[in-house]
Amino acid sequence: MPSSTLTHIDPAGRPRMVDVGAKPATRREAVAEVRVRFPAEVAQALRAQGLRSAKGPIVDTAIIAGTMAVKRTHELIPFCHPLPVEHCRIEIDFASDTELAIRCTVALTHKTGVEMEALTGASVAALTVYDMCKALSHEIVIDGLHLVEKSGGKRRVQQGRVLP
């Protein structure tokens, strides 16, 4: 991909933060998802323990960590704008016998999108699940982090496809 199409590269090829000053403020929303896969015996033990580990309630702690990460994305990812997040929801539930699905939805009315916030929230929630469960196994796998959809701004994306 030529550097001239990358928004975070200036004409001289140097990195830069995108100027969103002239953009209109619109309602913007992004949804990201990731999976945490456990060995069967670990998943069974977690279900039997009500998704609690020696460190505490796994799901509740992951939701808090993911939400904190959403609000601090601009401190973690270069060139992300600090944003006044208006809505953040993290949902965590078993998608199969051995796999937790983590979905992070972020929304606001602003001049720039919230894809990075949603992706960051989902990934930190998954990392928190891993941290809280690693004493049971180091064979836990975090997999498939992706943007499910985004709306607002110039483009609408759903399941990785740009929509009209």
Structure tokens at 120: 């960051």
Return the sign of the alpha-carbon dihedral for residues 92, 94, 100, 101. negative
Helix axes 115-133, 58-71, angle to 10 degrees: 150
Task: Quote the CA–CA distance of 150 and 121 in Å, as a whole number.
Answer: 15
pLDDT at 163: 58
**CA 10 remoteness from chain centre:** 27
On whether residue 63 sits in a domain, the answer given is: yes
What single letter denotes the amino acid at residue 76? L
pLDDT of amino acid 1: 37
Structural domain range at position 140: 25-151
The sign of the torsion formed by the CA atoms of 133, 135, 139, 143 equals: positive
Q: Within a domain: residue 59?
A: yes
Report if residue 79 sits inside a domain: yes
Residue 17 lies in a domain: no
The pLDDT value given to residue 152: 86
Residues 6 or more apart whose CB falls under 8 angstroms from that of 19 comprise: none
- pLDDT at position 164, please? 57
pLDDT for the residue numbered 3 = 39
Task: Per residue of the chain (164 residues), give pLDDT as tens.
Answer: 343 477 778 888 887 878 787 788 999 999 999 999 999 999 999 999 999 998 999 999 999 999 999 999 999 999 999 999 999 999 999 999 999 999 999 999 999 999 999 999 999 999 999 999 999 999 999 999 999 999 987 766 666 666 55
58, part of any domain: yes
Task: Provide the CATH number for the domain around residue 92.
Answer: 3.30.70.640
Domain assignment present for residue 77? The answer is yes
CA 149 to chain centre: 12
Residue 39 within any structural domain of the chain = yes
Rounded Cα distance, 130 and 65, in Å: 12
For the chain, what is the domain count?
Answer: 1
Identify whether the C-beta of residue 125 lies closer than 8 Å to the C-beta of residue 132: no
- Is there a domain that residue 6 lies in? no
pTM: 0.88
131 is catalytic: yes
- Residues sharing a CB contact under 8 Å with residue 148, sequence separation 6 or more, in sequence order: 31, 32, 33, 103, 158, 159
Catalytic residue among 19, 60, 93, 131: 131
